Amino acid sequence: MSTHEYSDDKLNMFIDNQLDINETDCLHKALLEDLELRERVCQLKAVRELVHYAYENPPRSAHERRDKVQKVHYLRRGIAASCILGVGALLGWGTHEYSQDNFAGIATANSAFSFYAGQAVADFKERKIVLHISTDDIGAINAALDEADTLLATYRETDTPLKIDIITNKTGINLLRVGVSPYLDRIESMVENNNVSLYACSRSIAKAVKKEGVKVVFLPETVTDKTARELIPERLKEGWVYFKV
Amino acid sequence: MKTIKNLIAAQSLKHELAARRTKLYRIAYSWCHEAALSDDLVQEAMFKALKNAGNLRDTNTLDTWMYRILINCWHDYLRVQGRNVELTDMSDEQQPEHTDSYQQTQIVERVRASVGRLPMPLREVVTLADFAGLSYSQIAEIVDIPIGTVMSRLFRARKNLKEQLLDLNKDENAHFRLRRVK
């Protein structure tokens, strides 16, 4: 068959796979021999490809846009939830591994101290608690100190040895500053009568000095040579129980 | 028990339709060249499909069935809008959103404009064949015409497009006002 013997209808059927096997084979053979026929087929194929290409990426539909916005929202929520879960898991793992009583997680000072006070009579091993204060919020500090006092009294009554390290950083260092903290007397009496140590983060001190431009003075019992980031992991490794205010 | 089966079937159909939404939208867009209208047509088609799910006896023909519902929605729209259809107005909305190169965008615009200049019956057939990749018998069923008519429309459509797209001497800026051919 020559090129003229193939109608455009036939060629359309060929490129659309609508011919039977015998007809397709015949046309294949003809294509090998006939350049003009090849060109006709190529042109039809080119048109078909162009139409396909032109509508592959139409403007996004409202539905797709909504979907995308929702996906972004879900993604953001997912990331946020994952972060929270991840941080929780890491901290939980950390405290689980290093605490004496497998008490994992971070609680508010109030609930945490209540929990720990309840455990005081269970045995007579020494309790080690690190109290991390990173705020100078009066309400939070008052609650923490009240609970610490209760805790110390409870342990004293049961003759259970208790050691508390108060580690402050950020604005929490103001709790231990002379001329700034309203709790100095209370803290001093706490330190004198009990096994309580005071720490102020060296990095936070440097920042406060830079910001205020004056020398920062602490209670004489305050240790200031390390950062909170160094102090807290050290204690966690030794099995201290960690509470954050 | 029958109610539960119907519910499961409806849920399954819903998933099948959702999976075909993009494909339906593209075809609808190739007919009307309007994103919002395409969306409406697809929405209506999916609503009708769910409403008449009982009419679908063979799930293997779901594609053909959906295209048929879609084209009926499109024809209904054309009937409501009147017989004169403006086909050459290409608004900004119709430009591709993706960041193609300038040349690619030009090709897409040119092809869409050429398809837009085709009479609607030719446009429907050529997009169903070239874009959706349907067989002639499927197209015949969807558009409700004999296979011979599908072939002749396809022939005319491709001949027209070939002249517009492959003939470089053709005036690219020519505008046509077309009337819908019944």
pLDDT string in tens for chain B (182-residue length): 566 666 666 677 778 888 889 899 999 999 999 899 999 999 999 989 888 887 777 778 888 999 999 999 999 999 888 755 544 433 434 444 444 456 567 778 888 999 999 999 999 999 999 988 899 999 999 999 999 999 999 999 999 998 888 764 445 444 444 455 44
Distance from CA of A26 to the nearest CA of B (A): 20
Q: Flag whether residue A214 sits within 8 Å of chain B, measured between CB atoms.
A: no
Residues 64-83 of B with CB under 8 A from A: none
Instruction: Please list, in sequence order, all residues whose beta carbon lies within 8 angstroms of the beta carbon of residue B27, skipping any fewer than 6 positions away.
Output: A55, B67, B70, B127, B128, B131, B132
Which distant-in-sequence residues (6+ apart) come within 8 Å of B146 by Cβ?
A: B140
Instruction: At B112, give phi and psi (nearest 5°).
Output: -65, -40
Contact B98 A57 (CB under 8 A): yes
Q: Which residues 9-28 of B are in CB contact (within 8 Å) with A? A: 21-22, 25-27
Contact B112 A55 (CB under 8 A): yes
Burial class of residue A30 in the structure, from the number of CB atoms within 10 Å of its CB (0-12 exposed, 13-18 middle, 19+ buried)? middle
Q: Which of B11, B23, B29 is nearest to B66 (CA)?
A: B23
Question: What end-to-end distance do the CA atoms of chain B give, in Å?
Answer: 47
The whole-number pLDDT of residue A200 equals 94
For residue A62, the distance in angstroms to the closest alpha carbon of chain B comes to 7
What order of strands is seen across the sheet that includes strand A196-200?
A222-223, A196-200, A162-168, A127-133, A241-244
CB B161 within 8 A of CB B126: yes
pLDDT attached to residue B42: 93
At A194, give phi and psi (nearest 5°). Answer: -135, 175
Nearest to B127 among A8, A55, A57 (CB): A55
pLDDT tens over chain A, length 245 residues:
555 678 888 899 999 989 988 888 888 888 888 888 888 888 888 888 888 888 888 887 666 666 555 555 555 666 555 555 555 544 444 444 333 333 333 334 444 444 444 444 445 567 788 888 988 888 888 888 887 888 788 778 777 788 899 999 999 999 999 888 888 888 888 888 788 999 999 999 999 999 888 889 999 999 999 998 888 888 876 777 777 77
Check A50 against B127: CB less than 8 A apart: no
Contacts of A242 (CB under 8 A, 6+ apart): A95, A99, A106, A129, A130, A132, A232, A235, A236
What span, in angstroms and rounded, lies between the C-alpha atoms of A165 and A50? Answer: 75
Cross-strand partners of A122: none
Residue B66 has which token pair? 């959906």
How big is the A-B interface in CB pairs under 8 Å?
A: 101
Taking Cα atoms as reference points, which of A235, A206, A228 lies closest to residue A135? A228
The predicted complex's ipTM stands at 0.76
All residues at 6 or more sequence positions from A73 whose CB lies less than 8 Å from its CB, including other chains: none
CB contact at 8 A, A164 and A129: yes
Which residue in chain A is spatially nearest to B115 when comparing CA positions?
Answer: A51
Distance CA A170, CA A134 (A): 5
Please indicate whether, in this complex, the C-beta atoms of B136 and A13 are within 8 angstroms of each other.
yes
